[in-house]
Amino acid sequence: MLQETAEVSCPYCGETIAILLDLSVEEQSYIEDCSVCCQPMTVSYRTEDGELAELNVEAAG
């Protein structure tokens, strides 16, 4: 399994947090709670040839 850690900013508290991405999946969208403020964020990403091509994190809901 291809995994990569990405650093993103929480849309609620602005803190930089690390999230783990599974790059063996071409496209994925899921909800993950911020490890600092616990608010739900929607994480969406797309890969090309096992490399991260696009990453978007926004407030869930």
Segment 25-36, tens digit of pLDDT: 999 999 999 999
Structure confidence at residue 50 (pLDDT):
85
d(CA 58, CA 18): 15
Where does the pLDDT of residue 2 fall: very low under 50, low under 70, confident under 90, or very high at 90 and above? confident
d(CA 40, CA 28): 16
Give the pLDDT confidence of 34-45 residue by residue, as tens digits: 999 999 999 999
26-34 long-range contacts, Cβ below 8 Å, gap at least 24? 31/60, 34/10
pTM of the prediction?
Answer: 0.90
Q: Which domain holds residue 11?
A: 3-59
**How many domains would you assign to the chain?**
1
CA neighbours closer than 13 Å in the CB half-sphere of residue 59: 6
